[in-house]
Amino acid sequence: MKATDRILQRWRIAKAAKWIPKGARVLDVGCADGALFRQLRHRLAPGGIGIDHDLAQRTEAYGAVLYPGIFPADLPPAAGIFDAITMLAVLEHVPTDAQPALANACREHLAPGGRLIISVPSALVDPILDALKAVRIIDGMELEEHYGFEVGSTPAIFEPAGFRLLLRRRFQLGLNNLFVFEKPWH
């Protein structure tokens, strides 16, 4: 991962952090090397879990356990319930037919009143990232998996699973989108 990749990653985490309650137990889907837990380690509860298909093995880092695999299929059965679930730069990699199961799994693993925090790049990002990758400014993590995800469809994926949209906001010069959903108490 190049410095520019890290800067963009830290920016996404900082935007998400504002919506993660202090002391929250977090599930980070697409956790990479545990950057979210590293960046927020002083404000998160221990016992968080990260899952990423690029991890080679289970590892412990920054008060969290990181597992190789894909959510929800490879989440350990005893993972439990979380106060917040994050998916930063992940949804655009999830095939359309897997999205309903993803939304339902988020509902099952999120505490009532818990937050689901998602970042999704705008459609203009792919050509920009392709150019930056071509000149070796970024590594462009898994760009080949992007399939033209429509940002505006994000609420339609999670609202049928019972989530309530709290926020939709653009950031990173309008090239990224932050969605915050809440699981109702009832």
* DSSP-derived secondary structure for 103-118: HHHHHHHEEEEEEEEE
Token couple for 153: 């469809």
Whole-number Å distance between alpha carbons of 180 and 20: 10
Handedness of CA 157, 116, 107, 5 (dihedral sign): positive
Tens of pLDDT, residue by residue over 78-126, are 999 999 999 999 998 899 999 999 999 999 999 999 999 999 988 765 5
Low-confidence spans in the chain with pLDDT less than 50: 142-146
Domains of the chain: 3-182 (3.40.50.150)
What pLDDT, on the 0 to 100 scale, is given for residue 8? 80
CB 171 within 8 A of CB 11: yes
Calpha distance 146→18 (Å, rounded): 27
pTM greater than 0.85 = yes
Q: Which residues pair with 80 in a beta bridge?
A: none
Q: What is the pLDDT of residue 145?
A: 47
> What pLDDT is recorded for position 144?
47
pLDDT value of residue 143: 45
Q: How many CB atoms lie within 10 A of CB 116?
A: 28
Q: Are strands 176-182 and 164-171 parallel, antiparallel or unpaired?
A: antiparallel
